[in-house]
Amino acid sequence: MQAKKLVVLVVIITTCAFLISSCTVFKKKEKEVYDKKGEGQWVYSSQKPSPYGDQKRGTSYSKRPYPGQEGEEVAYARETKPFIAPYLLGRLKYKVVVVEFQDNTKKGGQGLGALVTQELTKQLEESGAVVVVTMDAVKKSMGRSDAGFLSTSSALWKLRGLLGAQGLVTGTIQDALVGTGASGRGTEAMAVTKLEVTVFDTETGNTIRSITGENPIYASRAVGELSEDKALIKAIDFALGGVTEGIIRGLAGLEWSTSVASVEGSKIYLNAGKSTGLKVGDMVEVYSAGRLMKHPVSGVSLGRLPGKLKGKAKVTEFLGIDASQTDIESGGGIATGDVVRLSK
């Protein structure tokens, strides 16, 4: 009897030891050797001490923008790219216009503004929460070749009516500093960049978000050929992460709407469609533009009064990249530029 009890006890202890060791193994971050096939995946960078002291440490989550060193060990995250905020906005995406960033750095004139604008546009679209309207479409619709005319509230309201854009994003690059040195594998570079971004509501012309994006210097480390360019790209990519999330959170405070692009008989064409998240069968309500109210002392826009309900329509077909056809179910007198909201 004692022998049997001893055997049972040994089995229990062995089983517990196996389970504990298994949990420890599974908790470890899986390592892989980086090869060029992994380029473009989202990776966890390892913790590195700051040049200013060992107390400043952190782990970044950023996209590798260039081929790594062969044999470099990288811990790949098995999740997909961080998904920021469709849950904040619902299934319908917001439309925004991103104006090319102004370069206020000493590197001005080297295409840095266009690079930052392109990267921000990419991050916004990849977030799954935003549709970005191209500046070419804006200039063609507004009949202007420059972007300076978008600085007035009347121009922003016109932009909303013509293209259904709820937000306008402008920004400046305040700093872009790159330092180099020598390492065991060749030239080493680190970069710091600072971005200042403003998000405007096209309905009122008011600022709905002011955002500053910066990167920790250790997150930009690059070694080898073209290390300066690589470090700067990593710095921009990291700084834009916070900017993208700030823009989306700012838009989340707005009620979703789009606008009537044109009217033909009993059919209404909208500046929103499949890309925005509309579905065939959705019911929408069409309103006239309400009067803009301003503060009697400061003159700041307070918002627009609710417009008159003109009618209801059903989405029947998608057109192009992001437009749709609807059939009028009730009402009338609907015109281009009228405000459209999803029926509740």
Domains of the chain, residue spans: 82-251, 258-342
- Enumerate residues 6+ apart whose C-beta is below 8 A from 166: 94, 95, 96, 160, 201, 202, 203, 251, 254, 256, 257
Structure tokens at 51: 């040049």
- Distance of alpha carbon 216 from alpha carbon 193, whole angstroms: 9
- State residue 184's pLDDT score: 56
- Weakest-pLDDT range from 9-13, 173-177, 215-219, 222-226: 9-13
Q: Which residue has the tokens 């960078």?
A: 45
3-state SS of 164-191 is: CCCEEEEEEEEEEEEEEEEECCEEEEEE
**Three-state DSSP state, 155:** helix
pLDDT at 212 over 50: yes
- State residue 34's pLDDT score: 34
pLDDT at 309 over 70: yes
- Distance of alpha carbon 91 from alpha carbon 128, whole angstroms: 10
Amino acid at 302: L
- The average pLDDT across 132-150 equals 83
DSSP conformational letter for 308: P
The Cα angle at residue 179 between residues 105 and 98, in degrees rounded to 5: 35
pTM over 0.75: no
**If you compute the radius of gyration of the chain from its CA atoms, what whole number of angstroms results?**
26
Fold that domain 82-251 belongs to in CATH: Rossmann fold (3.40.50)
Domain 258-342 in CATH 3.40.1640.10? The answer is: no
pLDDT tens readout for residues 196-209: 999 999 998 999 99
- The average pLDDT across 97-115 equals 85
- The average pLDDT across 3-7 equals 57
- Distance of alpha carbon 251 from alpha carbon 322, whole angstroms: 19
In degrees to the nearest 10, what's the CA dihedral of 35, 40, 45, 48?
90
pLDDT at 310 over 60: yes
Q: Is the dihedral of CA 145, 147, 151, 154 positive or negative?
A: positive
